[in-house]
Amino acid sequence: MKNFTLIALGVLFLLGTGIKSQAQSSNKDYIIKSVEKHKAALIKISDEIWASAELAFEEVESAKLLADYAKANGMKVTMGVAETPTAFIAEYGSGKPVIGVMGEYDALPGISQKAEPTKNPLEAGKGGHGCGHNLFGTGSLGSAIAVKELIEQGKLKGTIRFYGTPAEEKFFGKLWMAREGLFDDVDVCLDWHPSAKTTANVQSSLALVDFIVEFTGQAAHASADPWNGRSASDGLELYAQGINYMREHIKPTVRIHYHIQDGGQVVNVVPDYAKMWTRVRDTKREGMLEVYERVKEVARGAAIMANVDYKITLVSGLHEVLVNRTGGAALQKNLETLGDITYTPSEEAFAKKIQESTGKPQVGLDATINPLEETREHPGGGSTDVGDISWVVPEIRLGVTTAPVETPWHSWAVVACGGMSIGHKGMVYAAKALGMTMVDLFEDPQLVNDVKAEFIERKGDSEYKAILPEGPPPIPAHILGQN
């Protein structure tokens, strides 16, 4: 009798495990079906955002398109969070866990492009989605809506929250949202980014600081009495030269860029004003801040040499991404379940034409699921305000193919792909992968705990503090006037 009871319990356990496994599988199957159900609408929204190509903090129509679709699908929408008219939150459900997913939708200036594989602006001089944010925001919302439907049906318990995050390309809108505490109650957050490959992203990013240096002198006639002038542009040139001499004596992980915004107006006036936007990056925040202090001293020295005054104004700064391999491994399993993206011959031909037009080898698209990489201590690449969120809440990150191999990013070539089927396929794939990973988090409390444990270990004693000046974000006046 005892043996029979043990056998019966074992059978019940196996049956229970099987039932649970089937339930998990059916929830992920539902995610895929839901994204497919919404696919036409998501592509339409993405294409409308692509065509409007609104710049940082000006994404009025783009934010409205996403917020309206979230509202139409039963999510509670709060617009204008963190003193930012184009930032919003859409959520559904109640209680724990609270799972967040972020979406961006700002464009870059001056890279307007038709959905064609040779350079041809849609509207000359206008912006374009050279980082694929029209896909990013829309794909993330698609995943959130799919999860919302499962919560609504009682198949998952907890809260799903979509963050509409503007101005990633210039002012880093997530910083004000983090400072406002909008992520403080989130258990785990996810995001994705368009890429030339599909991968669970377990690499960090570069920390950076943005600041403006202004020089003020005395105007004079450049020929009749230049000795009466004190040239602000001399100060600016000496500052730039000082930065460039520094480059030999900083670590190879550091990057310094600058953009002259005002160097004087006419040739026959000694300019009394000059202005430069400067950016310092490094793989670690501590290294970046060290170079930042040195660069500020260069500005002071340049002002002394040119006999002018100077002023430094902090714009904002970013933390490097705090990697979470536990979350990345969970995401990787779902990528392998979904399998590779498939492309048509015409899509491959489009990709190769893009590569030909940009002087790259014509190898087409990377359709494979890349393996989970080892985390590099000093990764290359860019910076993102997702990094700041990753120091507030554990962050799971995804990259999905939306452009050909070696496509120059932040260029017309990425804009072209984001407005046609190559970009659309990547967006739909990302929505499915994110949604499936969120199902894992809702269904498996231990996974949430493990992701949090790695976050706590990696963060250590560090206390997050945004690198921001006091006050509200720099919203353009014409946007504020609409509210």
pLDDT single digits (tens) 145-179: 999 999 999 999 999 999 999 999 999 999 999 99
For the chain, what is the mean pLDDT? 94
88's enclosing H/E stretch is strand 88-93
Q: Render 226-270 in DSSP notation, one character per residue.
A: GGG-B-HHHHHHHHHHHHHHHGGGS-TT-EEEEEEEES-S-TTEE
Residue 24: which pLDDT band, with cuts at 50, 70 and 90? low
Assess contact for 174 and 86: CB atoms under 8 A: no
**pTM strictly above 0.85:** yes
Helices (H) and strands (E) counted in the chain, each on its own, are 13, 13
Write the CA distances from 116 to 10, 19, 49, 357, integer angstroms: 61, 49, 17, 11
Arch. (CATH architecture) of 39-204+320-480: 3-Layer(aba) Sandwich (3.40)
Q: Alpha-carbon distance 264 to 259, whole Å?
A: 14
Residue 380: which pLDDT band, with cuts at 50, 70 and 90? confident
State residue 11's pLDDT score.
Answer: 39
Assess contact for 196 and 331: CB atoms under 8 A: no
- Give the distance, in angstroms, between the CA of residue 74 and the centroid of all CA atoms in the same chain: 26
- Residue 101's DSSP bridge partners are 162, 190
Residue 39, judged by CB atoms within 10 A of its CB (0-12, 13-18, 19+), counts as middle
Assess contact for 98 and 159: CB atoms under 8 A: yes
Evaluate whether 39-204+320-480 and 207-318 have a shared fold.
Answer: no
List, in order, residues 6 or more apart from 12 with CB less than 8 Å away: none
Read off the tokens for 425: 């396929």
Residues of the chain above pLDDT 90, percent: 93
- Coarse DSSP helix, strand, coil percentages of the chain, rounded to the nearest 5 percent: 45, 20, 35
List, in order, residues 6 or more apart from 252 with CB less than 8 Å away: none
CATH code of the region 207-318: 3.30.70.360
Residue 483: which pLDDT band, with cuts at 50, 70 and 90? low
Type of residue at 361 = P
Nearest-CA neighbor of 302 among 254, 258, 266?
258
Q: Alpha-carbon distance 413 to 148, whole Å?
A: 35
- Model confidence at 17: pLDDT above 70: no
What would the mean pLDDT of 363-373 be, rounded to a whole number? 94
Write the CA distances from 186 to 2, 207, 347, 407, integer angstroms: 47, 23, 39, 35
Write the CA distances from 158 to 151, 425, 426, 445, integer angstroms: 7, 29, 28, 11
Domain spans of the chain, in order of start: 39-204+320-480, 207-318
Q: What is the pLDDT of residues 174-199, one digit of tens each?
A: 999 999 999 999 999 999 999 999 99
Q: What is the DSSP letter of 319?
A: P
- Residue 316's DSSP bridge partners are 210
- Residue 198's DSSP bridge partners are 369
Q: Render 346-368 in DSSP notation, one character per residue.
A: HHHHHHHHHHHHTT--------S
